[in-house]
């Protein structure tokens, strides 16, 4: 399904509406899409109605060129456009990586949010390891046909090693999108959230250093896996999410 955001950009989202009045809103990571949450959605849809959004520049959403299109506020406006279209009165938000930072900033401005769960969250520039940024820069010079050799499957819900995951992301998302988002990402210290939230982090994250802004109130859960834990360890992750939701 699609909705037009405030500036006319079409935003794609998946909707599973059932007899459950409580909604879960899924926000994916950089250079990924809503399809990365397939294992979580399949598990949680029996407890909740579901909305999974493709950020602008990702998945099936529009991919306009220009740094002015890729700000945190644009992402928040896009999410609110979807929620307004579907007349969602209250919801819990689950954000992975980039989506984790967006989730906290969204919750600052929307009192409809109940639970906030962030998985391996990238709260801002401070969260990303310099070693990963160097790898991302080097990837610019790798021919696409070589990247395809390391990409076993296009299915984001399947995990065939880190090279496979990296290949999917590099092939599926325009370079100008993820480079712009990294360059323009806001400082994590701009987050001012009084509501308590849950961080679920992997014990072997190769991308983030888990910088958490001061004065934020959160519970911390640790599970096995690398950064892209959604497809790597769905069983343990799904159980952790359900626990954080109070089920």
Give the pLDDT confidence of 51-73 residue by residue, as tens digits.
999 999 999 999 999 989 999 99
CATH number of the domain bearing residue 108: 3.40.50.1820
Domain that holds residue 192: 2-244
Higher pLDDT, 33 or 211: 33
Give the pLDDT confidence of 101-118 residue by residue, as tens digits.
999 999 998 999 999 999
Average pLDDT over residues 211-223: 91
Average pLDDT over residues 27-51: 96
- For residues 122-145, one letter each, b for 16 or more C-beta atoms within 10 angstroms of the residue's C-beta and e for the rest, the string is bbbebbbeeeeeeebeeeeeeeee
Laid out side by side, the sheet with 91-96 consists of 2-4, 10-16, 49-53, 23-27, 91-96, 113-119, 197-202, 218-223
Give the pLDDT confidence of 124-141 residue by residue, as tens digits.
878 889 998 898 889 889
What confidence tier does 183 reach under pLDDT thresholds 50, 70, 90? confident
Count of domains observed in the chain: 1
Task: Report pLDDT for 20.
Answer: 67
């Amino acid at each position: 399904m699609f909705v037009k955001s405030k500036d006319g950009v079409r935003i794609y989202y998946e909707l599973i509406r059932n007899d459950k009045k409580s909604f879960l809103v899924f926000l994916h990571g950089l250079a990924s899409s809503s399809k990365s949450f397939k294992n979580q959605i399949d598990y949680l849809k029996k407890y909740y109605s579901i909305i999974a959004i493709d950020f602008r520049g990702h998945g099936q959403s529009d991919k306009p060129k220009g740094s002015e299109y890729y700000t945190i506020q644009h992402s928040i406006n896009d999410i609110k456009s979807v929620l307004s279209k579907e007349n969602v009165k209250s919801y819990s938000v689950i954000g992975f990586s980039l989506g984790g930072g967006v989730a906290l900033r969204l919750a600052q401005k929307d009192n409809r949010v109940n639970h906030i769960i962030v998985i391996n969250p990238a709260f801002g520039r401070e969260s990303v390891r310099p070693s990963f940024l160097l790898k991302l820069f080097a990837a610019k010079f790798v021919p696409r046909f070589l990247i395809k050799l390391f990409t076993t499957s296009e299915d984001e819900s399947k995990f065939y090693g880190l090279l496979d995951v990296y290949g999917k992301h590099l092939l599926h998302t325009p370079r100008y999108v993820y480079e712009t988002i990294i360059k323009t990402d806001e400082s994590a210290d701009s987050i001012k959230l009084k509501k308590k939230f849950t961080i679920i982090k992997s014990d072997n994250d190769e991308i983030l250093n888990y910088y958490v802004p001061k004065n934020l109130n959160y519970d911390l859960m640790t599970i096995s896996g690398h950064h892209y834990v959604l497809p790597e360890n769905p069983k343990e992750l799904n159980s952790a999410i359900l626990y954080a939701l109070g089920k």
